[in-house]
Amino acid sequence: MNGMNHRTLAALALSTCTLLALGLGLGACSSDKSTATSAETTDPGSTETTDPGSLTTEPLVGGSTTAPPTTPAPTAPPTAPPTSPAPTGPKVKTLTTPSTNPTCAEVTANGNQATVSWSATNAASVSLSIDGPGVYADGLPATGSYDIPASCGDTQIVLITSYDAGGNPGGTKTITITIGS
């Protein structure tokens, strides 16, 4: 056999099979004498193969080789569901008053009026309603203020509705003003 005995050929075949199996990610090789389940370089020129119940060290032909590490394929990170774009229609951003509980003296000093201020986005105009669904004032600017009638002891519920350029209604906001007696 050209200077190689049967044992050397078997070890060479098993070592080659083990290295190929590990390199290709196949796991293990087997022969009629042992099953290789792991390969590790311990010193130049040898490798250890572990078989349940036995431990053998066979010389490698051509020196030592370290099997490449096996790494699982990377997985893609989960993707977030697509988000809807923010609505672009008219909205009332703010609706304020200097005081939601003005005194009777404050309202009287202001000519029996309470002031409300607002700011709307993507709006061509706004309307103002007092104490119900009917429109008290319309065609008001998207940002502005208005003096509403007020009397001592009253509670006023003010509604601002925003409109786009086509007159279509958008967002609304309400504020309640309770005037002291």
Lowest-confidence segment of 59-68, 89-98, 114-123, 172-181 by average pLDDT? 59-68
Segment 135-176, tens digit of pLDDT:
999 999 999 999 999 999 999 999 999 999 999 999 999 999
Determine how many CB atoms are found less than 10 A away from the CB of residue 178.
13
* pLDDT of amino acid 68: 63
* pLDDT of amino acid 52: 46
**3-class SS string, 22-70:** HHHCCCCEECCCCEECCCEEEECCEEEEEECCEEEEEECCCCCCCCCCC
| CATH superfamily, region 91-178 | Immunoglobulins (2.60.40.10)
| Confidence tier at 75 by pLDDT (50, 70, 90) | confident
* pLDDT of amino acid 1: 47
Helix (H, G, I), strand (E, B) or coil at 138: strand
Question: Following DSSP, what letter does each residue of 141-179 receive, concatenated?
Answer: -SEEEEEEE--TT-EEEEEEEEE-TTS-EEEEEEEEEE-
| pTM strictly above 0.85 | no
Question: CA 49, CA 31: separation in Å to the nearest integer?
Answer: 12
- β-partners of residue 55 are 50
Q: What is the percent of the chain with per-residue pLDDT over 90, rounded to a whole number?
A: 49
Segment 100-139, tens digit of pLDDT:
999 999 999 999 999 999 999 999 999 999 998 789 999 9
* pLDDT of amino acid 154: 94
Number of H helices, E strands in the chain: 2, 12
- β-partners of residue 157 are 176
Name the residue ranges covered by the structural domains of the chain.
6-59, 91-178
Question: CA 91, CA 137: separation in Å to the nearest integer?
Answer: 18
Question: CA 99, CA 113: separation in Å to the nearest integer?
Answer: 12
- β-partners of residue 35 are 30
